[in-house]
């Protein structure tokens, strides 16, 4: 089968189109094989191409270290998939061949920039009926990342969001555009921080207030606004030095960042020291801010077919829609990577395989 793979970590020139990759096969009874109709790119794909997270991901792939170094290659990138079930393992009863499904594949597994991909049954969900495959492929990874941050870590849900003030930093990217819609679906007031050229996009998604970080200091622009109950930080860096000052103190207000040093620490320090340093950093920051009356949390992508079921209901009810910056053909994958790497993508970059395969 055709697949875009890398045989070493590096810049965009390491991407190679392999036309004779071995077809995947079911190893476990709970797995399904999906024929990929569309995939999409996320920043993690660009980072993984360069070797980010390799230490931790290789441990997840091979916990007993049975295999040799570099055995993850050839590595197929891509996390999102929308397609059709081709084959099911013996214990899979919820799906059958021919079902239209979508999923987000964990980063330690072979990815979706290929004709076929294997997924665990509990990672898969029926595709929203209201979306075509190209549209559906834009949502799973960013949707599950936002769901993990806001629902699982932040404790927000459809029953407790009414009237709450939410601040989203980096609101025009894939996670940000999904988070805006999720919070509006649950009745919250949303303030979005993005660049001026993305203002119309986030406004159409329902953002109540929009802050243009290019028109002046973001911190100064936020000061006239009432304090927030929840902050989702997709930016990281210096933002956490001032962002937590805009939370309501001693009210259960929470700051959740998706930019964590976990994988970087393991790459830089090794497994043991990296985990130790990560634990110390996380614990120190959590205690420091708890003493100031706010909660500090990290969030990570979590694969889940159950959560995708809930997202699909929101999509089919018209409350969430995909935001697609551009669609590339399968032959244009390197070009798509460059666009993601350059940044300032409004929504998602989608790869269509339907016309190719």
**Domain limits of the chain?**
3-138+322-352, 154-298
Q: Where are the extended beta strands (E) located within the chain? A: 3-6, 15-18, 31-41, 75-76, 80-88, 100-104, 116-120, 124-126, 165-169, 189-194, 209-212, 230-233, 254-257, 295-298, 324-329, 348-352
- Asked whether the beta carbons of 168 and 180 are under 8 A apart, the reply is yes
Q: Residue 259 has what pLDDT?
A: 93
Q: Specify the pLDDT at position 355.
A: 55
What CATH number should be reported for the domain whose range is 3-138+322-352? 3.90.180.10
What span, in angstroms and rounded, lies between the C-alpha atoms of 314 and 308?
Answer: 10
Q: What is the pLDDT along the chain (357 residues), one digit of tens a residue?
A: 999 999 999 999 999 999 999 999 999 999 999 999 999 999 999 999 999 999 999 999 988 777 777 789 999 999 999 999 999 999 999 999 999 999 999 999 999 999 999 999 999 999 999 999 999 999 999 999 999 999 999 999 999 999 999 999 999 999 999 999 999 999 999 999 999 999 999 999 999 999 999 999 999 999 999 999 999 999 999 999 999 999 999 999 999 999 998 888 888 998 889 989 999 999 999 999 999 999 999 999 999 999 999 999 999 999 999 999 999 999 999 999 999 999 889 999 999 997 543
Catalogue the long-range contacts made by 241-250 (C-beta closer than 8 Å, 24 or more residues apart). Answer: 243/167, 243/169, 244/289, 244/292, 244/294, 244/296, 246/167, 246/222, 247/294, 248/294, 249/292, 249/293, 249/294, 250/293
What are the helix (H) ranges across the chain?
43-49, 54-61, 133-136, 140-147, 174-185, 199-204, 218-222, 239-243, 262-269, 271-290, 305-316, 333-342
Q: What is the pLDDT of residue 69?
A: 72
CA separation for the pair 192, 347 (Å, rounded): 14
Specify the pLDDT at position 263.
Answer: 86
pLDDT at 356: 43
Give residue 65's pLDDT. Answer: 75
What's the distance, CA 169 to chain centroid?
15
CA distance linking residue 4 with residue 330, whole number of Å: 9
Rounded-to-integer distance, Cα 117 and Cα 100, Å: 14
Contact 296, 244 (CB under 8 A): yes
What pLDDT is stored for residue 178 in this prediction? 98
Query: Is the CATH number 3.40.50.720 carried by domain 154-298?
Result: yes
Alpha-carbon torsion angle 177, 178, 180, 182, nearest 10: 170
CA gap 243, 232 in Å, rounded: 10
């Amino acid at each position: 089968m055709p697949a875009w793979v890398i045989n070493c970590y590096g810049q965009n020139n390491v991407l190679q189109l392999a036309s004779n990759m071995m077809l995947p096969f079911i190893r476990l009874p709970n797995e399904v094989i999906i024929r990929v109709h569309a995939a999409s790119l996320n920043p993690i794909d660009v980072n993984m191409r360069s070797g980010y997270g390799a230490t931790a991901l290789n441990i997840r792939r091979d916990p007993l270290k049975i295999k040799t170094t570099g055995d993850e290659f050839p590595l197929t990138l891509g996390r999102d998939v929308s397609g059709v079930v081709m084959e099911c393992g013996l214990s899979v009863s919820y799906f059958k061949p021919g079902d239209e499904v979508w999923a987000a594949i964990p980063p330690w597994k072979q990815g979706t920039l290929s004709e076929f991909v294997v997924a665990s049954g509990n990672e898969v969900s029926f595709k929203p009926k209201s979306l075509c495959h190209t549209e559906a492929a834009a949502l799973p990874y960013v949707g599950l990342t936002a769901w993990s941050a806001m629902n699982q870590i932040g404790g927000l849900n459809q029953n407790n969001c009414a009237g709450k003030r939410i601040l989203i930093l980096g609101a025009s990217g894939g996670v940000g555009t999904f988070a805006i819609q999720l919070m509006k679906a649950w009745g919250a007031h949303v303030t979005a921080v993005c660049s001026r050229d993305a203002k119309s996009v986030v406004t159409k998604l329902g953002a109540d207030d929009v802050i243009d970080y290019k028109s002046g200091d973001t911190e100064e622009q936020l000061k006239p606004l009432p304090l927030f109950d929840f902050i989702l930080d997709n930016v990281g860096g210096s933002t956490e030095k001032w962002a937590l000052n805009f939370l309501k103190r001693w009210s259960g207000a929470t700051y959740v960042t998706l930019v964590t040093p976990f994988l970087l620490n393991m790459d830089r320090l090794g497994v043991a020291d990296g985990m130790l340093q990560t634990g110390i950093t996380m614990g120190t920051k959590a205690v420091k801010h708890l003493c100031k009356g706010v909660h500090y949390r990290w969030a990570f992508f979590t694969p889940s077919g159950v959560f995708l079921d809930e997202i699909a209901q929101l999509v089919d009810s018209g409350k969430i829609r995909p935001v697609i910056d551009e669609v590339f053909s399968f032959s244009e994958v390197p070009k798509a990577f460059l666009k993601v790497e350059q940044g300032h993508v409004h929504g998602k970059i989608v790869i269509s395989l339907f016309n190719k395969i």
